[in-house]
Chain A
Amino acid sequence: MELKLSNLTKEFKDVAAVDHISYTMTTGVYGLLGVNGAGKTTLMRMLCTLIKPSSGCITWNGKDIFELDGEYRRLLGYLPQDFGYYPDFTVYDYLMYVASIKGLRPATAKQRTARLLKQVGMDKEKKKKMKKLSGGMKRRVGIAQAMLNNPSILILDEPTAGLDPNERIRFRNLIGELAQERLVLLSTHIVSDVAYIAKEILLMKEGKICVAGSLKELLAPMQGQVWSLDVSKEDAETYRKNYKVANVRIIPKGVNLRILSGQRPSENARPESVLLEDVFLHYLGEGMVEEDVSI
């Protein structure tokens, strides 16, 4: 089981949304991290055969996925970032319809739909119209539809976007359960979504993968480069200008800064253990997103 990206490029007019990416994935969860506009969705759309690459190729077990066509899509489950649905369908009808276009026989479709509805906690809502569901419920139906054909490749594009913290934890656990024996590619701009469950994490910036590896491998080079420092409010601004600051926290005597630096920024600075968001900031040059604070 091998999904291989070789020199993969997608250009829109003069802009390369995906720029010469080469990478190989097998079973397990792969976390794709990047800021908005990094090219994550374009990459995922190519992996789902929704758009063709400008150059390069994607192979599944050595065969081009666009040549495999339906044979490849039979193995695929996809939850897009903008998860669209048929507003007047009930949850059950929606899943049965998706099952039919995924080539499931009606008896199998009924079985799988019933099982997945329970698994995502939507069995009591199965007669509700899709348009009446909350954002979290829609996402759960989204993951259920992606799992209907028991896919070998599960591609989830920003699956936790718009969910509240409880929903996100629940969702993350669900993905962890589903990840056995399959390849899961999970795109997000929320660091903690992948920190706990990803086998490998890919950091994407301006269409390129700038760094990739396991959580341990990503954290290791950053050891000894993360510091905690208490300063006055006036000094805080100077530190923010001179260092990459991962976090700012108000304390009674002033401000606590989380600083990324190869050198100890101050005599009073205390070394801290490295977190994934520090790596995110280091490579992508932007701070963690707001949602992370609550996790």
Chain B
Amino acid sequence: MCRYELKKVFLKTGGKIALLLLLFLVGVTCYFATNIFYVDGKGDKKYGPVAVRELRAMQKEWAGFLEEEKIRQVITENRRIRHSKEALSDETRENEIAYSWGQGISEIRNLLNYSYASHFREYDYYRADSLSETDAGDFYANRVSLLKAWLDEEAKDTFSDKEKAYLMDQYHRIQTPFYYNYMKGWTQLFAFSPTIIMISMLILGYLVAGIFSNEFVWKSDSVFFSSVYGRNKAVTSKIKAGFCITTMVYWGSVILYSGFILLYLGADGMNCPVQADISGWKCFYNITIWQKYLLVIAGGYMGCLFISFLSMLVSAKTKSTVLAVMVPFVLIFIPSFLANMNSVFVNKILSLLPDQLLQMEAALNYFSLFTIAGRVIGAVPILLVVYAALTVAIGPVIYWGYSRKQIS
């Protein structure tokens, strides 16, 4: 039965077009994600596999634990480059040549900009240029002290004392020195992961929206419900079909996307802590890049499953495919409008909406905390548990409602 439910979806012209569109959009996203450049010693920009190879080789020279000595070396190297005649020249090409020398340390240099900032939320691209070798020892201590200062001043009313203590504890607990490696594959993968997951979700929304309502649209409901399994097993097979479509389409696009990016840009750096990359420097979840990847794809899957099931519920309840198709749009785009409201309460609510699962990369960086039964917990584990439970709960609601449908 489930096989025929899948056929109903994928034999439709719209279903075929949706899959082709998804494939096309995955391709486009892969193109943009892998479109990185490298500047050679003559100041010329290079793209494609050559750029990846050269950049990887340069950054790998700096791979290893970011100990005080290594930070010192980066500060020295950065100063050497910044004070070179090429960097100080008015000629763009000369500047490009100076830039080419710094590509090996560029990612560590970004970390310096954060670590030695004057405020927790500041990012000054030129901050690293003003450092001296004697500053190297403060690299990790700064990370903690900036957080403390922020919690004591700017964010003093945002968090409870318990939450502040939790954040400080998480910052203290992280193992230092960080291990650094070339990780362009992962950073690019994470940067475009919300795009790929949201595209998959919108396509999925279209595919699953008609599973229940199309019986009424096609007027096949009478034969369906008057059959022996029309009010039990056949309904279950529709839910199974929705689950299978979500699983196949989501994992298909995510594996295709991840596989291409990591094969092209390399999977080096998977064991580095997320804090060893500029996008995760402030993250209070002490996890590795690989663990972050697992969270991003698991969160995306959970989010897609939940939204697909919600679409199916709307489809089953209202008999309207149009309303069901709108569910992902509403859940993805409405929170972005509400995000402009500068309210701690609203922000807490927003951090628990299902769209967060689709952009786990960003959710991991939000300082969104909740105190449950006296224990402080981040939004990410709550999101995963709550939406897994809700998805499981929606299944029986769909079954119960649809199997009792009356034909008007």
Contacts and interface: CB of A to CB of B under 8 A. Distances in A.
Contacts of B221: 84
B229 to A, nearest CB: 5
B158 to A, nearest CB: 54
Given A51-B406, A84-B223, A102 B11 contact: no
Nearest to A76: B226
A51 B227 contact: no
B228 A50 contact: no
Contacts of B226: 48-50, 73, 76, 78
Interface in B18-38: none
Given A69-B231, A98-B227, A88 B406 contact: no
A89 B223 CA distance: 15
Interface stretch (B1-9, B89-97, B137-145, B342-350): B1-9
A184 to B, nearest CB: 15
A102 B228 contact: yes
A207 interface: no
A88 B4 CA distance: 11
A295 interface: no
A149 B218 contact: no
B406 A50 contact: yes
Contact of A84 (B12, B222, B229): B222
A118 B8 CA distance: 25
Contact of A102 (B12, B218, B227): B227
Interface string A36-72: 0000000001001111100000000000000001100
A262 interface: no
B124 to A, nearest CB: 59
B211 to A, nearest CB: 12
Interface in B189-221: 215, 218-221
Interface string B222-236: 111111111111100
A80 B227 CA distance: 12
Given A101-B227, A102-B228, A102-B229, A82 B219 contact: yes
Interface residues of A, number: 31
Contacts of B224: 101
A89 B218 contact: no
B237 to A, nearest CB: 8
Contacts, number: 89
B407 interface: yes
Contact of B228 (A52, A80, A93, A103): A103
Interface residues of B, number: 28
B7 A101 contact: no
Contacts of A73: 226-228, 230-231
A45 B407 contact: yes
Nearest to A12: B408
Given A88-B11, A89-B7, A74 B228 contact: yes
B8 A89 contact: yes
B406 A80 contact: no
B408 A101 contact: no
A126 to B, nearest CB: 16
A82 B8 CA distance: 19
Contact of B222 (A48, A69, A93, A101): A48
A283 interface: no
B228 A101 contact: yes
B218 A103 contact: no
Contacts of A78: 222-223, 226
Contact of A86 (B220, B228, B230): B220
B223 A80 contact: yes
A82 B408 CA distance: 12
Contacts of B230: 73, 101
A156 interface: no
B220 A84 contact: yes
B220 A85 contact: yes
B272 to A, nearest CB: 49
Contacts of A145: 223
Contacts of B231: 69-70, 73
Nearest to A146: B223
A145 B215 CA distance: 16
A84 B220 CA distance: 4
Contacts of B408: 51
A5 B8 CA distance: 37
B406 A100 contact: no
Nearest to A50: B407
Query: Which of A70, A88, A98 has its CB near the most chain B CB atoms (within 10 A)?
Result: A88
A80 B222 contact: yes
Nearest to B216: A84
A145 B4 CA distance: 16
Interface in A77-122: 78, 80, 82-89, 93, 96-98, 100-103
A86 B218 contact: yes
Contacts of A74: 228
Interface string B393-408: 0000000000000111
Given A45-B222, A86-B220, A102-B227, A96 B11 contact: no
Contacts of A76: 226
B223 A103 contact: no
B234 A101 contact: yes
A145 B219 CA distance: 15
Contacts of B234: 101
Interface string B264-292: 00000000000000000000000000000
Interface string B326-337: 000000000000
Contacts of A69: 231
Interface in A1-56: 45, 48-52
B226 to A, nearest CB: 4
Given A51-B406, A85-B220, A149-B228, 5 more contacts: A45-B222, A51-B408, A84-B218, A89-B11, A103-B229
8 contacts: A45-B222, A48-B222, A52-B406, A76-B226, A88-B7, A89-B8, A101-B227, A145-B223
Interface of B: 1, 4, 7-8, 11-13, 215, 218-234, 406-408
State the 10 A-B residue pairs at the shortest beta-carbon distance, nearest first: A84-B219, A88-B11, A84-B220, A80-B222, A50-B407, A97-B4, A48-B226, A101-B227, A78-B226, A74-B228
